[in-house]
Structure 1
Amino acid sequence: MVSSTQVSQLKDTSDARAAVASLVARARMAQAEYEHYGQRQVDEVVTAVAWALVQPERNRQLSELAVETTGLGNVEDKITKNRRKTMGLLRDLEQAKSVGVIRELPELGLVEIARPVGVVGAVVPSTNPAATPANKTINALKGRNAIILAPSPKGQAACTLLLEFMHAELDRVGAPRDLVQQLPIPVSKATTYELMNQVDLVVVTGSQNNVRSAYSSGTPAVGVGAGNVPVIIDESAELDDAARKITASKTFDNATSCSSENSLVILDAVYESAIAALERSGGVMLTAAEKQQLEAAMWEDGSLSRHIIARAAPDIARRAGLTRSELQSASFFMVEEQHVGKEYPFSGEKLSPVLAIYRARDFEAAFEQTRCLLDHQGKGHSCGIHTRNEANIRRLGLEMPVCRVIVNQAHAFANGGNFDNGLPFSLSMGCGTWGQNSISDNMNYRHYLNITRIARTIPPSEPTMDDLFGAYLQKHGLADS
């Protein structure tokens, strides 16, 4: 016999399937029309949708709503993030070809043609409820796709308002509104999972549960991994410059970014001087007793407290009952740590202006400490270093299990692309197989394209046995065999 609960669940699943199917059908009709747009028309649509977020009054309205409804971050930094991330993305896309022939390789007889993937389902987090959906929408539209957004429950109000602004701009340029849609409110797990099942491509930023669900949905999926960024400060670093950059990064939007520093691994030779520089820049080192008190407030039943995540340092101090006067005006907190693992929560991602500080006797020890932190959490994502030692940089690139090594930069700004580095502007960081992801670069418009290749004949290039095996056989005395 089927219970009333099971009947209710079946009805919920059926309703979710029908609701999503209606959205997908409308998206397919819009995308079929949009697929015939030329490059100039596509780029105008992309610019229009970007303006929906960047326009100053709308940007402020969205940022205020995001902070009000999620309780995460601060308004002024969200305004900056929305503007910079979107303008940087437009810069990246300005000369990018995504319609028709995008590359010709006559020497190989190949022509590459960009084709849409179809309808994209985009799962977006509450930490960036405007910037991330805008980024995914712009990339999807660049490839002549339609997109359906699945915001988190906390972030859905801001995403809904952003969608309203996007539709106004789509109307302005005469493009179909149904190119950009959102799951019906309230967004549920059932409709999100149905979206994953019914679209042509799923792109996921946010919880690892959502990433795993996307991978197991049976639909091609691009997901990203968890962050837990460790940054080394070695004996050659410009300490005041490093401290300023770390402070700017760690305090930006109250550390909502998965790319903000979570641990500093400081070489013994400069440890005291580096801590002094960080203190001059606004950091305060907690005592052992204060560290214990903060830990009790930050984690509830092993999970980060929603009352602490993405709050300003003085607010965290008040909520944790930390009364020392210096803490009431601190930009961020530092806690000395020696160990790594689940029993030592400061060794993981904190999503707040709190830094774990590790002391290493030399670069070899710092390297191993960094690897240990990443093995615990954040493997594949990124690490950083402040240094003038090229050998140390190169070793991190050759041996550390990360997809990005950020050198002498504010990590949260640099990791997702910046105007002074060459990484693509993105809010979604692929972590490669280390992070159980299918991509190892910053998610960008090329991940929203199918590529058709026309192949023609070229003069044959067929090697002989001697070309391929001669040196090997000669070296191992097998030349006459």
Structure 2
Amino acid sequence: MSVAVAQPIGRSEPLPITPKPVDRTVDPAPVEAVMRRARAAQKIFAEADQEGADAAVRALAWSLYKPENARELAELAVADTGLGNVADKIVKKQRKTFGTLRDLLRGRSVGIIEQDHAKGLVKYAKPMGVIGAVTPSTNPGATPVNKAMMAVKGRNAIVIAPSPLGYRTTARIVALMREELERIGLPADLVQILPEPVTKDSTEALMRACDLIVVTGSQDNVRRAYSSGTPAIGVGAGNVPVMIDETADLDAAAEKIRDSKIFDNSTSCSSENSVVIVDAVYDQAIAALERAGAYLCTPEEKGRVAERLWVKGKLNRDLIARDAAVLAEAFELPPEARGSRFFLVEEEGVGRAHPFSGEKLALVLTVYRAKDFAAAKARVAEILEHQGKGHSCGIHTTDMARARELAADLDVVRVLVNFAHTFGNGGGFNSGLGFTLSMGCGSWQKNSISENLSYRHFLNITHLVTPIPEDRPSPRDLFGPHWEKIGYVEETSAEAGR
């Protein structure tokens, strides 16, 4: 299949860190070689029309959506990282890829993408060039494809710097993406991976050399990206609290929380980490969660969970994102807990002294009791202030006024109502949010975006500006209310305010 080409329309939670001096002993040649190939491929692809850009996006999507590829990469990711489970990773890879493809094919990214006749403006999309993408070990297959699809939609090339733990998985999907591009006559070098070993030095060299950096995962990498001198998009840490109020359908809420919490063993940043339940339905909601497959730990068992899930103040790598049966054994829970899907621990405090109030990346859900809606709202805000501010929260309710109050008052980018949070926050077929694996958290987490990452973030925009009828209000139109307050008498000169 050949790709249609048009005439060119233009060429082309950690604290902030102080960038370390460049280690001049590190050989820059591998990164420079990758960048040379990327720029050569992108120069060719910059000539593509919309049909050609969309053909490339479809090719990349198929490289992961293809059933045998999705399974191979899911198995490889679990084998290499030990995080999550194969069945859910297959679902994630196909669902996210399919949804992202739907969104991308519905938008324009070449030539004229918007016209506003009233303002005399026409907007033209142009490529940014070469995108540098830093991807996490939690999604070593899905995230590279998701970012590559968005980058290529804008006729860019992309170079991926994966987590070393997920390198083999990412290298495999990069190889598959390159094969699919070549099958439709496009340069394979539109998608590349940094050569092993991927180090902080090689990743920083990529950050300095590319035209835009997009970082998902380590907050250390996010800060390094913003300090690199290259335009950057980084996303923040999650720690999602959800509320259940007395108007909620308790069984429906419990089932949604379960489905979201257990998906891929809680590897998602959108997975629920705390549930705040109003007192009026607390016992009933706990019972509903138990019916949905939860096990409520006793205070003694909670102590063992804390002792083993954290080691020297850090999450135990051997227990995060593991199957429930593995956790039940590690926590020495009784036989009745061994068949549970996830585990509840009751908590009263928030902050560093209360580790259960933070993100756990495990099948452990913290439960808080609140006197009423106002107290529950305050608790949710407190949890977010501790960790995850800006990311998202949720509520299970039939009172939309409460949902609107949360959206108006809380410092988050997303408030989800009656959702399985993981399946709505990063885009869903019953959610208006765009499909993505990178969710901006705004200035609350020092992010440059407060929305879901999309292909529009990978475009340069040229504005064609033409004359329109003059739009000049009078000075009284603009200053009138202020003049009335200070007793100013308007000048009568015809030139006043000119």
Name the TM tier (shorter chain). Answer: over 0.9
| 8 Å Cα contact 2:310-2:316 kept in structure 1 | yes
Q: Distance in 2 between matches of 1:19 and 1:159?
A: 18
- Return the letter of the residue paired with 2:317: R
Q: Which amino acid aligns with 1:440?
A: S
The CA deviation string for residues 55-93 of structure 1, in whole angstroms up to 9 with x for no partner, is: 000110000000000000000000000000000001101
Residue 314 of structure 1: CA displacement? 1.6
% identical equivalent positions: 54
Q: Of 58, 77, 80, which residue of structure 2 is paired with 1:66?
A: 77
Task: Compute the TM-score of the two structures, normalised by the length of structure 2.
Answer: 0.93
Secondary structure of the corresponding residue to residue 461 of structure 1 = coil
Shift of 1:185: 1.3
SS at match of 1:452: strand
Match of 2:141 in 1: 130
* Counterpart-to-counterpart distance in 1, 2:490 and 2:160: 65
The 5-angstrom pairing of residues 73-472 of structure 1 reads 73-320=84-331, 322-472=332-482
AA aligned opposite 1:241 = A
Residues 16, 190 of structure 1: 8 Å contact kept? no
Q: CA deviation at 1:187?
A: 1.4
1:206 is paired with a residue of what secondary structure? coil
Per the TM alignment, residue 479 of structure 1 is displaced from its structure 2 partner at its CA by 4.1
Contact 1:35 1:116 in 2 (8 A): yes
CA distance in 2, matches of 1:469, 1:319: 69
State the 1:421 CA deviation. Answer: 1.0
Deviation at 1:475?
5.2
Q: Which amino acid aligns with 1:402?
A: V
Distance 2:36 2:270 in 1: 37
Q: 1:357 and 1:95 mapped to 2: Cα distance?
A: 41
Q: Secondary structure at the match of 2:406?
A: helix
Secondary structure of 2:390 counterpart: coil
Amino acid at match of 1:309: I
Q: Could you list the structure 1 runs, at least 4 aligned residues long, displaced by more than 3 angstroms after superposition.
A: 9-16, 474-481
Cα deviation, residue 480, structure 1: 5.7
Aligned-partner SS, 1:367? helix
Structure 2 residue matching 1:107: 3-state secondary structure: coil
Paired residues of 2:133 and 2:147 also in contact (CA < 8 A): yes
Instruction: Give yes or no for contact 1:313–1:327 (8 Å, CA) kept in 2.
Output: no
Q: Determine if contact 1:13/1:190 at 8 Å carries over to the other structure.
A: no
Shift of 1:459: 1.0
| In structure 2, C-alpha distance between the alignment counterparts of 1:479 and 1:276, rounded to whole Å | 70
Q: Following TM superposition, by how much is the alpha carbon of 1:448 offset from its aligned partner in structure 2, in angstroms?
A: 0.6
Higher helix share: 1
Amino acid at match of 1:265: V
Give me the CA root mean square deviation: 1.4
Q: Deviation at 1:343?
A: 1.2
Counterpart of 2:99, as a letter, is: G
- Distance in 1 (CA, whole Å) between partners of 2:200 and 2:487 is 65
- The number of equivalent residue pairs is 472
Contact 1:150 1:192 (8 Å CA) reproduced: yes
Contact 2:301/2:333 (<8 A) preserved: no
Task: Compute the TM-score of the two structures, normalised by the length of structure 1.
Answer: 0.96
1:391 to partner: Cα distance:
1.4
Query: Contact 1:196–1:202 at 8 Å: present in 2 too?
Result: yes
For residues 165-189 of structure 1, the C-alpha deviation after alignment (integer angstroms, 9 at most, x for no partner) is: 1111011101001100000012111
Residues in 2 aligned to 1:104 and 1:12: alpha-carbon distance in whole angstroms: 48
Residue type at the aligned position of 1:370: V
Change (3 A) 1:323 1:369: closer
Alignment check: 8 A CA contact 2:260 2:422 kept: yes
Q: CA deviation at 1:15?
A: 4.0
Q: What does the per-residue CA deviation read over 1:218-275, in whole Å, with 9 as the maximum and x for residues that have no partner? A: 1100000000000000110000000000000000000000000000000000000000
| Cα contact 2:22–2:201 (8 A) shared by 1 | no
2:366 alignment partner, SS class? strand
Larger mean Cα displacement after TM superposition, 468-477 or 86-95:
468-477
**Alignment check: 8 A CA contact 1:143 1:445 kept:** yes
User: Which amino acid letter does the alignment assign opposite residue 399 of structure 1?
Assistant: D
